Amino acid sequence: MKFMGPIILVENLELSRNFYEKILRQKVIYDFGVNVSFECGLAVHLRTHFEEIHMMRGSHKILYGSNSVELNFETEELDDVYNELKQLKVEFIHEIQEAPWGQRGITFYDPDKHIVSIGEAMEGVVNRLYKQGLSVDEVVSKTAMTKKFVEQAIKYALE
């Protein structure tokens, strides 16, 4: 069995496609008119069509904003994405903050109140901490990444 990726239900397919394609920079691979699949494995599906094909009536109500699922992305351009989202006036759950393991990130709602988190790629975190003066062992301790991962990330960044 192969997991194909999450499907989120949306009220306005065009709005959601634009949000994920233009704002979160995800590449569309299929657009079937009632659902759109992205290269990353995420798909957005028009709620009314989803309910129709799954014969959902009555007690099977779709609830938005239930805060039960998070879509998680990584980027090398966190500050740029954050500034773009701020200009769009998205509803932030939290703006840029640093987690105990050193990764900076933001969490907010998409147009249908699905939770979206964007964090720095861990290779970037390792390099930022190393450039701030932490030793390899200190970076390993803070990030919980393996020493091999930390050394490879630093070596790659120095090339």
List pLDDT tens digits, range 5-53. 999 999 999 999 999 999 999 999 999 999 999 999 999 999 999 888 8
DSSP states of 77-100 as a string? -HHHHHHHHHHTT--EEEEEEE-T
- Whether residue 57 is predicted with pLDDT greater than 80 in this model: the reply is no
Q: Label residue 26 exposed, middle or buried (CB < 10 Å: 0-12, 13-18, 19+).
A: buried
Question: Judging by DSSP bridges, how do beta strands 115-120 and 43-46 pair with one another?
Answer: unpaired
Summarize pLDDT for 110-145 with one digit per residue, the tens: 999 999 999 999 999 999 999 999 999 999 999 999
The pTM of this model reads 0.87
Two structure tokens written together for 153? 């990330």
How is residue 6 written in tokens?
A: 């999450």
Measure Cα distances from 30 to 38, 64, 139 in Å: 7, 24, 41
pLDDT at 63: 81
* CA 5 from centre of chain: 13
